[in-house]
Amino acid sequence: MVRTWGPAWLVMIADVDAASVITAAENGALYGTGLLWLLVVLTAPLFVIQEVAGRVGAVTGKGLGQLIRENFSPRIAAVAALPMVGADIMIYTLEYAGIAIGLQIFGVPPFVSVPCAFGLNILLVYRRKYAQIEKPLLAISFVLALSYGISAYYAARSGIRFDSFLFSASPTFLFLIAANVGSTIVPFMLFYQASASAEKGITSKNLWAMRLETAVGAIISESILIAVEIAAVGVGSGPGKLAPPQALAGALSVVSGDLSPYLFGVGLISAGFVALIVVSLGSAWGVTSAMGWGKKNLFRVYLLESIPALVISLLPFNLVGLSLSLLAIQVVVLIAPAVLLGLIASKKGLMGTHSLKGPNKLLYWILLLAVVSTGVVSLLSQAI
């Protein structure tokens, strides 16, 4: 159990990144506890889809990109890789935006903070010193999660109104629906868990441990976001207007007083870096294997993805709005790799007795369809 622990947990922690924290905080700031039901429901597709990714990597001993190339064709692998490159650029942009928001609270402007974050991440990726920074960043992120949990507890005790279910056809509400769905399962997560499970040596004999780890990670990651939403109740200006980072930081005032904005900022910075490290381990890996380029081109692919993200995050956008918009678009980018993952997992000749079949197969496709259709309909409603 201890030996195999890692891939599923890391990908779930990376999923609780700066953009996801901002999205959950906006839920509470705009609609109180009215969107808690959505976060609870999203735990199911998060576990089911990621479990299939881990299962494919463990049973075959190969990454998802390589499997797409071998079981379909180089052309289909290339088609799958192209939107993933775009998705990775979006992810890097989200994390740089989150880091910029966090450092803005400390008075550091984005044109200073983002290049510095870019330089540090390049240094980490090039020298492969992930372990040296991963543990302290995870520790800081856990401190943020604990603070939000305590703040949520006191907010609940203070008599806030819990709305069991809230739904609205307003553009802002539907936009947040798409952002929440997009923050739950991101394309790089499929490639990372499959590749990391294979690399770590997880096999069909210890699939139970991988499933348990995936379940624990899914529950904890969504629980953190639920705590963030509860803690952020009342810090915004109500439905229809996104709350600025300074207002979201006020959600921690219960436990940290005047230090709340700075604790919020440290959390966003650390969450952004954790995600950057994990994404850099998986995304370039997935692209190179799908395209058949070999590991020697990993760093070149990483630069190809990172430099556009650096430029985009420096443009004069509303950083909160940018984070939510890019998350919403992730739903569309998820379609190709998730569909191909399901098809690969259903191949009995490849997966043997661990192939996707029966009720498990039906559940996978139903949940994937629900995630994609919800996100797409929410996005289309914005264009109408």
Q: Using CA atoms, how far apart are residues 365 and 196, in angstroms rounded to an integer?
A: 24
Q: Contact 282/192 with Cβ under 8 angstroms?
A: yes
Q: Using CA atoms, how far apart are residues 375 and 52, in angstroms rounded to an integer?
A: 21
User: What pLDDT score was predicted for residue 322?
Assistant: 65
Contacts of 59 (CB under 8 A, 6+ apart): 203, 204, 207, 350, 351, 352, 354
User: What pLDDT score was predicted for residue 42?
Assistant: 92
User: What pLDDT score was predicted for residue 194?
Assistant: 86
Q: By residue range, what is the domain housing residue 119?
A: 7-383
In order along the chain (384 residues), what is the average pLDDT of each group of 10 residues? 67 78 82 88 93 92 86 82 72 80 84 88 66 62 69 67 76 82 82 80 80 88 84 64 60 61 75 76 72 73 80 72 70 86 93 90 93 78 61
* CA 86, 92, 97, 100 torsion-angle sign: negative
User: What pLDDT score was predicted for residue 220?
Assistant: 85
Is 114 inside a domain boundary?
A: yes
Radius of gyration of the chain (CA): 20
Quick count: other Cβ atoms within 10 Å of Cβ 16?
25
Q: Contact 75/307 with Cβ under 8 angstroms?
A: no
Is 319 inside a domain boundary?
A: yes
Quick count: other Cβ atoms within 10 Å of Cβ 295?
10
CA distances from 296 to 77, 79, 210, 301, 359 (A): 19, 21, 29, 10, 41
User: What pLDDT score was predicted for residue 32?
Assistant: 82
Is 164 inside a domain boundary?
A: yes
Per the rule left: phi > 0, alpha: psi between -120 and 50, beta: everything else, 107 is left
Is 1 inside a domain boundary?
A: no
User: What pLDDT score was predicted for residue 6?
Assistant: 67
Is 187 inside a domain boundary?
A: yes
Task: Give me the CATH number covering residue 101.
Answer: 1.20.1740.10
Q: Contact 147/255 with Cβ under 8 angstroms?
A: yes
Is 2 inside a domain boundary?
A: no
| Whole-structure pTM value | 0.83
Q: At what angle do helices 358-383 and 319-345 cross, to 10 degrees?
A: 150
Is 99 inside a domain boundary?
A: yes
Q: Contact 178/37 with Cβ under 8 angstroms?
A: no
Is 373 inside a domain boundary?
A: yes
What's the number of domains the chain is made of? 1
